[in-house]
Amino acid sequence: MVRQGKLLEVQDLQKNYGKKNNITKALNGVSFDVLPGEFLGIMGPSGSGKTTLLNCIATIIKPTSGRVLLHGKNISAFDSKDLAEYRGSRIGFLFQDFELLDNLTGQENILLPLSIHGVDFAKARAKLDELAGFLEITDILHKFPSQMSGGQKQRVAAARCFITDPDIVLADEPTGALDTRSARTLMNKLEGMNRTSGRTILMVSHDPNAASFCSRILFIQDGVIFHELRRKHDETREKFYERILQVLAQLGGGSANVL
Ligand SMILES: Nc1ncnc2c1ncn2[C@@H]1O[C@H](COP(=O)(O)OP(=O)(O)OP(=O)(O)O)[C@@H](O)[C@H]1O
Ligand SMILES: [Mg+2]
């Protein structure tokens, strides 16, 4: 794959919550780059700052200091027009609990971001068909979220996320509310979106199984990155999974379940 420049640059990001004598340093100087076409994972124990990091990148919260650059441009310097475009179509967000609108069907949920941007109906329809086919949700598009399984809801949420062709998809524990089988299906689909369509994904996860689908993993603890694993070119997912477990075992006094 041709790699042209950095897609995202996170530079010395710090985030403190609270005031003077009750400060939590959620991020304590986090720096990394995301290249176009990467499937980057972030792993770390509960409270290590993973959601805070994604939320800073998504401009849901403001970092205390440090910068996030998209294609070399500082996102905190965006004017309101650039910011709306950034939030609406440059990034996609996949949440643990799906965040679908209950009173809209699957199809309506997926098309909502496009209707907001006034995209031509025929174009939207073609995109929807392609994504729904790939994510195997064509048959449930007419259903409301309450009539779908967790796995189906998350694949609908994934379609909503990808339909705007975002530069990068941010996923916060996307398999967190799914059973093992649905989690594996979702990860296979995300891996497919990454490999066949070159979609760039930044995913936070506790789950070594989910993380083993990534091409690179950053490990975060107490608001700092302390380790990096890269999946080798010819490495199987199973082998990569074993190496992830080894890192986790070193982390928590021998237990792989600390995350
Ligand atoms: N709004 C907030 N106000 C105060 N402290 C917060 C707030 N949000 C998060 N924190 C604290 O910041 C630290 C990092 O939280 P964060 O949610 O980023 O962790 P996480 O790695 O996503 O954890 P988990 O795996 O449990 O989702 C934690 O100590 C948390 O208690
Ligand atoms: Mg979190």
Read off the pLDDT of residues 49-79 as tens digits, 9 standing for 90 and up: 999 999 999 999 999 999 999 999 999 999 9
Question: Confidence class of residue 231 from pLDDT cuts 50, 70 and 90?
Answer: very high
CA distance 97 to 133: 23
CA distance 117 to 104: 18
For a pocket test of ligand 1, which of 22, 24, 205, 222 has the largest count of ligand atoms closer than 8 A to its C-beta? Answer: 24
153 Cβ below 6 A of ligand 1: no
Ligand nearest to the CA of 172: 2
Ligand 1, atom 24, lies closest to the CA of 46
* CA of 156 relative to ligand 1 center, distance in Å: 27
CB-neighbour burial class of residue 40 (10 A; exposed 0-12, middle 13-18, buried 19+): buried
Question: Confidence class of residue 4 from pLDDT cuts 50, 70 and 90?
Answer: low
Q: Note the pLDDT of residue 252.
A: 65
Specify whether the CB–CB gap between 200 and 165 falls below 8 A.
Answer: no
| Average pLDDT of the residues in 123-150 | 96
15 Cβ below 6 A of ligand 1: no
Kindly give, in sequence order, each residue whose CB lies less than 8 Å from that of residue 214, ignoring residues fewer than 6 positions away.
Answer: 39, 40, 41, 203, 231
Q: Which of 48, 36, 33 is nearest to 226 (CA)?
A: 48
Domains of the chain: 37-48+86-257 (3.40.50.300)
Question: Confidence class of residue 211 from pLDDT cuts 50, 70 and 90?
Answer: very high
DSSP-derived secondary structure letter, 91: E
Q: Is the pLDDT of residue 84 over 60?
A: yes
258 Cβ below 6 A of ligand 1: no
Specify whether the CB–CB gap between 132 and 159 falls below 8 A.
Answer: yes
More confident residue, 20 or 130: 130
Specify whether the CB–CB gap between 20 and 195 falls below 8 A.
Answer: no
| Average pLDDT of the residues in 137-143 | 98
- From first CA to last CA, the distance across the chain in angstroms is 33
Beta strands in 110-186 (DSSP E): 168-172
Token pair 């690179």 in the structure block, residue:
216
| Average pLDDT of the residues in 247-254 | 73
Q: What is the mean pLDDT of the chain?
A: 92
Q: Note the pLDDT of residue 113.
A: 87
| Average pLDDT of the residues in 35-43 | 97
Kindly give, in sequence order, each residue whose CB lies less than 8 Å from that of residue 62, ignoring residues fewer than 6 positions away.
Answer: 56, 76
Ligand 1, atom 12, lies closest to the CA of 26
